Amino acid sequence: MANSLDTHLANIRESRVWQSIFRSGPGGSNLHRALAIQQNVFLHLSAVKIRKKSLAFRVTWYLGTLSLGGLLILVVTGIPLMLYYHPSVPQAYADMKDLQSVVSAGVFLRNLHRWSAHAMVLLVFAHMFKVFYRGAYRPPREFNWVIGVILLIVTLLLSYTGYLLPWDQLAFWAITVGSNLLSSVPVLGPKVRFLMLGGNTVNANALLRFYVLHCAILPLAAATLVAIHFWRIRKDGGIYAGKGNAGKGQSQ
């Protein structure tokens, strides 16, 4: 049985269709496995070879990977939520209530989105602290630290913009307070607040702007920065695994 399954899989791998997609072709050699990574648009962000000790739990506590997992869950749950949510003043709150009570699996998707959002903020902070206290931000990884700080800001902005969308009292006053905090920035503050809200009060324009930021602009920014973040791990000599690995420079 297992034998015939292996044969079937081998046949598929040797087919013309498979080989037109995966150029490296069949084979289990190190070269083939390296090519399988290198020639895949997603996997090529990572190195073809990783030190075994950098995969140990104690090195990273897998916090970066868990943050990515949070982001993926948020994208996968967020897109279906968009199908039932209208970012308009009369409908936003009612749509959120409908998702909780009327839409099949709506309450599951909404709560998964909400809890994952909380978890991701926590994980991103934990990831940052872990990197900081291990000294993994030091050269040659200082630029990736900067990318990471920008990603932290994007994560917080995603969290903040998503907070308004239920359009309940909590959301309204939270954004009122938050935007008034912004306007206490000298010179530019009130102007930036006006542009962010699209008006002087938290109103229809603010809801729409936060929706566009939350569903299009910030996720695109996050995806781009995450790609650079991962690619830089490879370019900076892999994950910092401890003293023996410090400052080895570029390996790939």
Which residues contact other proteins by CB under 8 A?
173, 176-177, 179-181, 194-195, 198-201, 203-205
CB-count burial class (<10 Å; 0-12, 13-18, 19+) for 184: exposed
HSE-up (13 A, CA, CB side) for residue 116: 20
Pull the structure tokens for residue 213: 């930021």
Q: Which residues contact 51 (CB under 8 A, 6 or more apart)?
A: 238, 241, 245
* Residue of 88, 234, 51, 67 whose CA lies nearest to 158: 67
Q: Which is closer to other proteins, CB of 3 or CB of 184?
A: 184
Cβ at position 161, least distance to other proteins in Å: 16
Amino acid sitting at position 59: V
Q: Which is closer to other proteins, CB of 109 or CB of 164?
A: 164
Rounded distance, CA 161 to CA 212, Å?
A: 9
Cβ at position 118, least distance to other proteins in Å: 21
Q: ∠163-167-170 over CA atoms, to 5°?
A: 65
Q: Which is closer to other proteins, CB of 102 or CB of 170?
A: 170
Q: Which is closer to other proteins, CB of 156 or CB of 177?
A: 177
Q: Which is closer to other proteins, CB of 69 or CB of 178?
A: 178
Taking CA atoms, 153 is separated from 13, 75, 247, in Å, by 43, 18, 27
Cβ at position 177, least distance to other proteins in Å: 4
Cβ at position 211, least distance to other proteins in Å: 15
Three-class DSSP category at 237? coil
Cβ at position 15, least distance to other proteins in Å: 50
